[in-house]
Amino acid sequence: MKPIVTIVGRQNVGKSTFFNRVTRTKDAIVDDFPGVTRDSIYRDAIWNEVEFTLVDTGGFASGDEDDIDSKVRIQVKQSIDDADAIIMMLDGKNGVSPFDAEIVQLLRSVSKPVFYVVNKIDGDEKEINLYDFYSLGMEKLYSLSSEHGYGVASFLDDLVDILPKSVSENYQEIIKIAVIGRPNAGKSSLINRLLGKDRHIVSDVPGTTRDSVDSLCEIRGKQYLIIDTAGIRRKSKVSKKIEKFSIIKALKSLDRCDVALIIIDASEGITEQDISIAGYAYERECGCLFLLNKWDTVEKGDKTKKKFIEQLRYESKYINFAPAMTISAKTGLGVSKIFNLVDEVYMQYSFRIGTGELNRILESAVAKTEPSLYKGRRLKFYYATQISVKPPTLICFVNYPDSVHFSYKRYLLNQIRLSTGLDKTPIKLIFRKREGDRHKTGARGQRAGISKKK
């Protein structure tokens, strides 16, 4: 595993700005509003050819604590326990705070390297702001500006010098899972249940999760990266700037996942927004798994589960390949079976069909049900090949590719699913004209007096 470096500090000292600069991302939401980061965010970084994982944590709150602030503190302490080195960030613009002293006191009992960094020092003339912080009892202080980059390079030089050597990992084998759904559907509760500990903040207040948060875990010898995302509301319900950023990032998380766990609050039934969220995953060609959460709260009869699944299938016809199961993140009902189904979806999602087998399936399907005529001419399907996986992507060469009716395309996809057993993954089927046919078409067009613009 790569060494872990955790950034701690009170709210609004610039931890997320530093995190984004070092990881060269915009993964941590940055805003002047205090308390924007709540859950810990993990991303890989590299400096002087040394790889490490950087962790952005929620800020220690100032003033009266609420339930979320207390959970942030617990999570920060867990991140400190997991770290190989710690960056304590201080605010060089606003000076020393009583909460700085509290965090410093906490870090005195930690038997691992701690770097004390004074942020918002934009140049040599601001170095004088450092002196007040020596009152906290540190021997060495680093000055830098996360926003402008002043002093960052020299600090990182010292940081990576003390990090343990990492062992390179085969990241291709890590199955990436994004957990998506409406606010308060139980996403963070489910992840805590899967991980076996409270790594994600859970609250009855919708919108508690603001960032997309990664957690790496190992189950039965397999590695999984679980991405918790902000709840996706309807556009008309989104007003705060921070929440808009959160939803954009939740959607971006689908671009980097293999399997999307679509959480539906079964106690509220299947809503239009649930189907819209499933559509986001479908558009991004993810493997998908529907989880009907809070099943323990549903009043059940002999056919309750069957009716739920039938309604789900009716509402989301376009994504009928996605398996569905009932769970309760709160009680643990059905949760142990999720990884088995994820493995099955992922295996199909990354499956490769042999060219010979694929063409036998295509030939048999066309012989069984021929396509309709196009302008009095028969459509000819020449051959097909798979060009990529995640999802399985197939190209089929045909004389009139734009004239294949969507119903016949659906027929061919169903025949491929039946013959290969790929019933739990999206399959992408693309129709193209053969290279030789393109030239013939061009020649006929020129004889007819049709010329292409240069």
For residue 273, the model assigns a pLDDT of: 87
User: What would you report as the CA-atom Rg of the chain, rounded to the nearest whole angstrom?
Assistant: 27
For residue 123, the model assigns a pLDDT of: 86
Instruction: Scan for tokens 């590695």, then name that residue.
Output: 223
Contact indicator for 82, 5 with CB cutoff of 8 Å? no
For 317, other C-beta atoms within 10 Å of its C-beta total: 8
State how far the alpha carbon of 406 is from the alpha carbons of 409, 411, 413, in Å: 5, 9, 10
Contact indicator for 227, 250 with CB cutoff of 8 Å? no
For residue 208, the model assigns a pLDDT of: 42
> What separation, in Å, do the N-terminal and C-terminal C-alpha atoms of the chain show?
55
- DSSP line for 222-237: EEEEEEE------GGG
Contact indicator for 229, 207 with CB cutoff of 8 Å? no
Tokens standing for residue 328: 């309760």
For residue 303, the model assigns a pLDDT of: 80
DSSP strand pairing (381-388 vs 393-398): antiparallel
Closest CA to 396 of 430, 373, 351, 347: 430
Bridge partners (DSSP) listed for residue 54: 5, 43
Sorted by where each starts, the structural domains of the chain and their CATH numbers stand as 4-161 (3.40.50.300), 171-349 (3.40.50.300), 355-446 (3.30.300.20)
Per-residue pLDDT of the chain (454 residues; tens, 9 = 90+): 688 899 998 888 889 899 999 998 765 444 444 444 445 677 889 999 999 988 888 765 544 454 444 555 666 777 788 789 999 999 998 888 888 888 888 888 888 999 999 999 988 888 888 888 999 988 899 999 999 999 999 999 999 999 987 555 444 468 999 999 888 888 888 988 988 765 544 444 444 444 456 777 888 888 888 888 765 545 544 445 444 455 566 677 788 889 999 999 999 999 988 998 899 899 999 999 999 999 999 988 878 899 999 999 999 998 999 999 999 999 999 999 999 999 999 999 999 999 999 999 999 999 999 998 878 888 999 999 999 999 999 999 999 999 999 999 999 999 999 999 999 999 999 999 987 665 554 444 443 333 333 3
For residue 444, the model assigns a pLDDT of: 46
State how far the alpha carbon of 304 is from the alpha carbons of 321, 365, 408, in Å: 21, 37, 35
CA 341 to chain centre: 18
CA 164 to chain centre: 28
State how far the alpha carbon of 422 is from the alpha carbons of 74, 314, 357, 451, in Å: 44, 21, 14, 44
Report residue 253: phi and psi, to 5°. Answer: -60, -30
- Single-letter amino acid code for the residue at 254: L
Contacts of 198 (CB under 8 A, 6+ apart): 71, 74, 75, 78, 192
State how far the alpha carbon of 414 is from the alpha carbons of 247, 410, 432, in Å: 34, 6, 19
Tokens standing for residue 383: 């051959």
Tokens standing for residue 18: 């530093």
Contact indicator for 288, 249 with CB cutoff of 8 Å? no
Instruction: Scan for tokens 């912080």, then name that residue.
Output: 133
For residue 435, the model assigns a pLDDT of: 72
Whole-angstrom distance, CA of residue 20 vs CA of residue 45:
10
Closest CA to 91 of 131, 64, 57, 120: 120
Whole-angstrom distance, CA of residue 86 vs CA of residue 162:
11
Tokens standing for residue 306: 């069957």
Contact indicator for 19, 54 with CB cutoff of 8 Å? yes
